[in-house]
Amino acid sequence: MPPVDSTLKRLRELPRGERAEEIEALVLARFQTVLLIDDADDIPLDVSYFDLGLTSLRLTEIRQGLEQLLDLSINVNVLFNEPTIAHLVDHLTQAVQEA
């Protein structure tokens, strides 16, 4: 895994559309790992985390992993107020740009 600062720097240098695609891939990889889902299986982006089978504990695990990878703080309100992968990707795309 590349160092955190190089991941953040690389993402910040991408155009917004490409940045969103890269962040989506990172987020999906985290969810697949925690949910024990094969790479070939699609995870819907607009379904609640809890409907996907996540618990609060597993969601915290995903949040911590993404925070470490991106060197960003993710407010828990982002995860619980609109709990979908699409919303999280939008939030992280904006947060990376502002970092």
Q: Give pLDDT tens digits for 57-66.
A: 999 999 999 9
Lowest average pLDDT, out of 7-11, 24-28, 67-71, goes to 7-11
Q: In this structure, how many other beta carbons lie within 10 angstroms of the beta carbon of residue 83?
A: 17
Lowest average pLDDT, out of 3-12, 37-46, 56-65, 89-98, goes to 3-12
**The two three-digit tokens of residue 39, written as one number:** 């790479």
We report the CATH number of the domain holding residue 59 as 1.10.1200.10
pLDDT confidence of residue 82: 79
Q: Give pLDDT tens digits for 26-48.
A: 999 999 999 888 877 889 999 99
Q: Which domain holds residue 10?
A: 4-98
Tell me the average pLDDT across 73-91. 90
Count: domains in the chain? 1
- Of 30, 97, 37, nearest to 69 by C-alpha is 30
pLDDT score of 4 more than 60: no
82 phi, psi to nearest 5 deg: -135, 80
pLDDT score of 87 more than 60: yes
Exposed (0-12), middle (13-18) or buried (19+): which is 16, by Cβ within 10 Å?
A: exposed
Q: Give me the residues paired with residue 84 across strands.
A: 48
pLDDT score of 16 more than 90: no
